[in-house]
Amino acid sequence: MISQPSLKTLAGTCAAALFLCWGLTLALAKPDVSPRPAPDPKLGEVVYQESCARCHGPAGAGDGPDAKRMEPKPRNLAEGIFKFRTTASGTPPTDEDLFRTLSTGLPGSRMPDFQRLPEETRWQLVYHVKSLSKVFEETRPEPIHLGTDPGSKGANLEKGKELFAQLGCVACHGTHGRGDGPSAATLVDNWGLPIRAADLTHGYSYRAGSSAGDVVARLLAGIDGTPMPSYVDAVSKEDAWQMAYYVRSIQEKPRWARAIEAVRVEGELPGDPSDARWDSAPRADLRLASGLYREGKVLPAAVTAVMVKALYNDKEIAFRLAWHDPSRNDTEPADRASLFLIPDRRAKFQIGSLRSWPASSDAPSLEQLAWSAEGTSGKAAFADGRWELVVSRPLSPAGGVGLTPEGRPILLGIAVWDGGNGETDRHRANSNWVDLVLK
């Protein structure tokens, strides 16, 4: 028989357990976003015309006034083909898929995020976008179940790598995932336009998220309108997660920087990009923006980032550059790169950005360290979709920019030309101006 004090203790224990379970339930049930508002067609139309019509057109046909200057063209929303979904290939996206695209944008494209708009307003945009295409009336979304995430501890990277090769991913994305596979140069989208295989090592540029779950969604749903098929019938969900974690493992974490720090070393500077002495220099990654203009259109850049290291001694300074390029081009138009140094920091306001330089014939000149793959020397190497090279200059060249550890930082910019993308002269990818500091 249980005594009265024991009953009180038991009651208290049960109450505490009930409270804990109730609290856990509330925590698990917390929604990711606020409840959706009811559709307001008038508001959706107004917001669409203000925020989207300049690119996608007033009726969503991809024919807005800014579309003629864009390559690739903005999506024809009326056509009803959407790339980034969690639904079966050939079926429209869910409302949540559209909301996510509107909220996060598509990195590496001209599609911005709309975080500036209130969440309720973004939902009205979702409803309006759906009204532009009959596909949402004629076909129901078929959400794909992604299976169970094994977590990073349950991931078998070797198996994922084997599956990556077995399923033919190497043909487009390349052995190391740099978008340099043997079929990469032949890819076209549903509209017959050239399209690049994604550089899977650049997780920051994934247009629909770079988490393992995001990668699984792309594998199973495919990317409609592109050569990326759905693998829902070719791979089990368990194996899809193994592949996704392998893809995560080859993503290189960028080290974005606003300054390049050159480190002093004794003796001769390394002339080979693989020299172990480069390990002593801090790495700085610079984003490259498209400066490609052709027939009035802004073209997407093939090279989107460059890695820089710098070493110097008492006479010279050397720079090691590395970037991903899906193809090696030794003849004109050849792959090229240049470092630009501004002799006077005040001249930046006359020169402007590298994208617009040279602005005019009377603009201040820049000191340029140029390299071209045409006639490449032993100071450059290309392998598996990656260029590495070393360029150097005297610390105090005659008539050039003098560099000293005690001096003020000077401004440096980098431009990269991808010959395989037809880039010549001003058709190039450029960094912003950054400080060069001698430590």
Tell me how long the chain is.
439
Per-residue pLDDT for 13 more than 80? no
Does 4 have pLDDT greater than 50?
A: no
- Report in angstroms the alpha-carbon separations of 86 from 74, 93, 254: 21, 7, 28
- Does residue 305 share a domain with residue 386? yes
Residue 283 shares a structural domain with residue 405: yes
Segment 163-221, tens digit of pLDDT: 999 999 999 999 999 999 999 999 999 999 889 999 999 999 999 999 999 999 999 99
The DSSP string of 349-390 is HHH--TTT-S--TTSPP-EEEEEESTT--TTEEEETTEEEEE
Residue 298 DSSP SS3 = strand
Same domain, 242 and 297: no
399-419 pLDDT per residue, tens: 667 888 887 888 999 999 999
Instruction: Report yes or no on 71 lying in a domain.
Output: yes
Q: What are phi and psi of 236, to 5 degrees?
A: -70, 160
pLDDT tens for residues 30-84?
335 568 999 999 999 999 999 999 999 999 999 999 998 887 789 999 999 999 9
> What percentage of the chain's residues is helix, strand, coil (to nearest 5)?
30, 20, 50
Q: What pLDDT digit, counting tens, does each position of 134-160 carry?
A: 999 999 999 999 999 999 999 999 999
Range with the poorest average pLDDT among 3-12, 164-173, 299-308: 3-12
Predicted confidence band of residue 358 (pLDDT cuts 50, 70, 90): low
**Residues 292 and 242 placed together within one structural domain of the fold:** no
25 inside domain? no
Q: What is the CATH number of the domain that holds 215?
A: 1.10.760.10
Asked whether the beta carbons of 97 and 85 are under 8 A apart, the reply is yes
Q: Which of 226, 249, 272 is the last residue of a domain?
A: 249
When divided into structural domains, the chain yields a total of 3
Q: Which domain holds residue 58?
A: 41-138
Signed CA dihedral, 346, 349, 353, 356: sign only = negative
The set of residues, in sequence order, having a beta carbon less than 8 Å from that of 38 and lying 6+ positions away, is none
Q: What is the DSSP letter of 251?
A: P
Higher local confidence (pLDDT), 1 or 403 = 403
Please indicate, yes or no, whether residues 434 and 321 belong to a single structural domain of this protein.
yes
Residues 53, 100: one domain? Answer: yes
How far apart CA 272 and CA 79 sit, in angstroms, is: 52
